[in-house]
Structure 1
């Protein structure tokens, strides 16, 4: 039988499968099961069997017992349809063993009832009627428990059919009567009603109770043809009518219904066509009978070959599915090794990069350290040179002080004493004159003493660094043709400031003066050192052309300046306006952490 498959539903499942392959094996198995189920309902056996097998592999691997049982039932139903009843029996019992150990649930009971029903059908076809009835009754019991009226009726019909095959006609009629007692069945399920009514009529026929025949057959045929969507059941009804009229020796009627059965069954090319041809060979005579008998033999051979081919094809599908699974496993294994090798290569590359990078950083750090040591050494040399100059200045000042104190001051003191001794002249004019000279000498004496003490006083501590800065500024502004103002607060204790900080301030001033000369076109620069909250604040201001701070890219000079400021844990702030000059403010702590 063929039906129009719902392509939109199948396409939707296929789209889901492309996503599930990546993220969710469980959903992938369910999607394969849905495809298998959809294809089976539409009698596309090959596709159905293929997807059921894929669902079976995954659900078995994931130990999804209910899904595996449902899939096995679908496979067993296909095996039964293709007359592989022994295979259907084996597959069904595997499904039952899974469901027996599964927790009780509505879905599990539905699946179990389907499996029992399929076992009943298989055993009936194998001629094991007692077993068939046993499993049909198990299916019936579960369906009553589930309150599934339609499937209860299906099981009652199946049981009645097996009892008819057992020739226990009264029992069979009892089961059919239970179904037909529902007066609404003809409206609710006309096709099923026609099937049951035909079974009931055929049971009467085989039991020899012909009083209600052929009316029951004709009613069943009328319902099947007029109310049922599918006219497949009418094949069997037409054949039963042909058998009935053939027994009654009403050849025309028998041939009429036999040919109707044959014409309809030719659409399906199955056992019903075979039975129709056999019946026609019995009803017809002469060449017509021989023709139908010949067709029957050919069709019988063909169907046997088709059944064998189908079973082989199903076995091949199962084998190819296993082979595909093994190939997928191999591919997955190869991909895993490729992934592992790729990860190892990446990790090795990263480690090599880290090692090389670390070595470069160590070299850079060593270079910076050496540069720092060199800078400190240069500063110390500059400081030593400055100290030498200061020492020479101090010695010179000391010599002058001693000369003033011991020489000039001594002579003045002697003169004052001489004048003082002449004070014995008591004339008013002499006294007045001598008093003036003596007063003036005292004044000179105090002035010389003051100069002597000032010359001999120690210089402010730390003035050496400012002198170095002053020398730098004087030299560079002379070369750059700049005027300058250098201001500093005496409260800054440069002795407490690390050489590293002083070196960086020195270099920053040097770099700033260079930038002013190179870019600003300035004529004046103001340099201020102040102390704010235990931080040294250096401000450099020029009257140059200025620039847009937000648009200007950092050059190597500014980058070096930032690097130096970061090393002394400082901050930098630059403000500039075009044609109004630039101000650079740098703050750094006196003591580094």
Structure 2
């Protein structure tokens, strides 16, 4: 016979070590699974609640509750997936600080569990955050880490995505040549990818970097390739049209800037104008509209068609000022200043250039700082030397930063490799230590468990032997009671027979002889005859009573129940009554079963006292076919059996009903009374 902890051999529980380990592992996993799915249900419920709430404040608080449950819970893939969901919802709400917190939590949890997929995804998300925060070195480090992890698991598409993240960082830090190389390498990785949005970003980043290194011909080609990917996204039909329109408008703007740099102002104006014809995105992207409008006005000015140019530039400036787009305001100031120069309004031009320089310095826009300083040096004759020195100072500073930046990312890559190697070595050592410690702990736990099981086995054997001894004693007592009862019945029958056959007959004979006598004293004779007749009847009654004594004893159970019920009284003035079917043969019911019946009635009556508040309670015992039905009914307040089924009283009644080999039925509803029935 197999058991969970071992094998039962000759009544002894023999524990086997492998089976014990499996059992302990199963119990531990089962408990964790229950908790895991409970947390998942709670968090999913909070997500659904957040989705139905319109207030962003309440939505954020609801997501905070989900995050609190997940951050402190166990570390498994389901919880990490839910934390990613939390991060995405924070991003949607614009809660940037909470977004990065969620990303760092899932990053640390995934790293701790060596879950490469979650680890890499968290690294990529953190990189995205630092790009938006303009923290280029941190963004590059996390993108590089994501790339290495994705390469290790051969996820080519994700490798390409991480490489595009690095290319974006390089572009924004002015490392355009490195940005071109990184973007092209990413496109080579993504050459077989069906993700058109990813490929669009790859072509776009390559084209933007090529534009900055003045390779305009290739830049135009890559911009056209990005436009082809936009067409593919539109054909798929599952990409938001508003985004597609924005991407297409951006394409027209980029193409226009290249032709503007090439001096093809007519073509530049055509591209800008094509972008402006796309009306839909400007409800959400006023900056893009202002950029196109400002660029088209500038190209028209450079093409010698100044009519309406100032109105367009001022309109673009006011849009940028209303949305506080600082880089856009700088661009507008520079272009309006150049228009002032064209219209010979030097004073206004210098004012715009100075305002543009001050704002560019404030936002650390080095390219615009140099552009405005160059214009001021050329046209502010009075302060030419000042602005010239400032130009060279800023230019030297910018070049120094560029040189430092060019080496910084190579250093980050090297240091990341070194740290990764050290972490892998430390991780291997920690694994060995943890494994050895876990094995020792498992052996210790197993040893304790074995000792406990052996001790339990001894207790079970002792209990089994005690039970067997008790059963033997009980059987002997029953046998003795049976023999005593048989002897008592036999003696009663013998006495009854002696009384009937001996004394009764003798009295009858005497009475008969007296009746035959002829005597003068008739009255005296009749009196003696009557006395003998009465004595005969009394002896006969004693004989009959002795023979029926067993029947009288069968009435004992009824008397006990009647006495129990008659003794009941409570504050609710409940009227108790008992009814016992006379056809029940209590002689066929064992003493043990009689005790169970008595205790069930006693427990049920006690519950009526405590809870029912009934006006009447009836205890009935009925003979039904070969069964006996015990029913206790009251007209009290009732209860919910499902909620109360774990109560001690009902559990005891259920246990006794099972001991009777019977069926327990409880029928009750609030305010509709209660019926407890046991059929055995």
Partner of 1:136: 223
Within a 5 Å distance, the mapping from 1:459-538 to structure 2 comes to none
Among 242, 246, 265, the residue aligned to 2:360: 265
Question: 1:151 Cα deviation (Å)?
Answer: 0.7
Q: Distance in 2 between matches of 1:317 and 1:88?
A: 16
Among 405, 410, 416, the residue aligned to 1:315: 410
Partner of 1:160: 256
Question: 1:184 Cα deviation (Å)?
Answer: 5.3
Distance 1:95 1:173, change over 3 A: same
Is this contact kept in 2: 1:5–1:42, CA < 8 A?
A: no
**1:353-383 CA-partner distances (Å, limit 9, x unpaired):** 99xx9xxx9xxxxxxxxxxxxxxxxxxxxxx
Among 267, 280, 285, the residue aligned to 2:376: 280
> What are the ranges of 5 or more consecutive residues in structure 2 without an aligned counterpart?
1-93, 235-243, 480-680
SS of aligned partner of 2:363: coil
SS of aligned partner of 2:468: strand
Farther-moved stretch of structure 1 (228-237 vs 117-126): 228-237
Kindly report the root-mean-square deviation, in angstroms, between the aligned alpha carbons of the 2 structures. Answer: 3.5
Instruction: Work out whether 1:220 is the aligned partner of 2:295.
Output: no
Instruction: Work out whether 1:52 is the aligned partner of 2:148.
Output: no
**1:188-209 CA-partner distances (Å, limit 9, x unpaired):** 4221111111111121222222
Question: 1:176 Cα deviation (Å)?
Answer: 0.7
Instruction: Work out whether 1:302 is the aligned partner of 2:366.
Output: no
Question: 1:255 Cα deviation (Å)?
Answer: 1.3
SS of aligned partner of 2:403: helix
Is this contact kept in 1: 2:140–2:409, CA < 8 A?
A: yes
Within a 5 Å distance, the mapping from 1:82-481 to structure 2 comes to 82-102=173-193, 104=194, 108-147=195-234, 148-183=244-279, 186-226=282-322, 228-269=323-364, 270-286=366-382, 288-338=383-433
Structure 1 runs of 4+ with >4 Å offset: 183-186, 339-351, 559-563
Question: 1:350 Cα deviation (Å)?
Answer: 11
Question: 1:253 Cα deviation (Å)?
Answer: 1.1
Q: Distance in 1 between matches of 2:121 and 2:270?
A: 41
Q: Distance in 2 between matches of 1:570 and 1:252?
A: 114
Is this contact kept in 2: 1:76–1:88, CA < 8 A?
A: yes
**1:377-404 CA-partner distances (Å, limit 9, x unpaired):** xxxxxxxxxxxxxxxxxxxxxxxxxxxx
Q: Distance in 2 between matches of 1:145 and 1:347?
A: 58
Is this contact kept in 2: 1:159–1:175, CA < 8 A?
A: yes
Q: Distance in 2 between matches of 1:314 and 1:37?
A: 17
Q: Distance in 2 between matches of 1:313 and 1:573?
A: 87
Within a 5 Å distance, the mapping from 1:57-96 to structure 2 comes to 57-96=148-187
Is this contact kept in 1: 2:183–2:206, CA < 8 A?
A: yes
Distance 1:15 1:346, change over 3 A: closer
Among 111, 121, 125, the residue aligned to 1:21: 111
Question: 1:27 Cα deviation (Å)?
Answer: 1.2
Question: 1:122 Cα deviation (Å)?
Answer: 0.9
TM-score normalised to structure 1 length? 0.57
Q: Distance in 1 between matches of 2:207 and 2:459?
A: 92
Q: Distance in 1 between matches of 2:345 and 2:459?
A: 118
Q: Distance in 2 between matches of 1:336 and 1:16?
A: 21
Distance 1:184 1:149, change over 3 A: closer
Among 468, 474, 492, the residue aligned to 1:572: 468
Q: Distance in 1 between matches of 2:459 and 2:294?
A: 103
Question: 1:140 Cα deviation (Å)?
Answer: 1.0
Within a 5 Å distance, the mapping from 1:33-48 to structure 2 comes to 33-48=124-139
Q: Distance in 2 between matches of 1:345 and 1:199?
A: 73
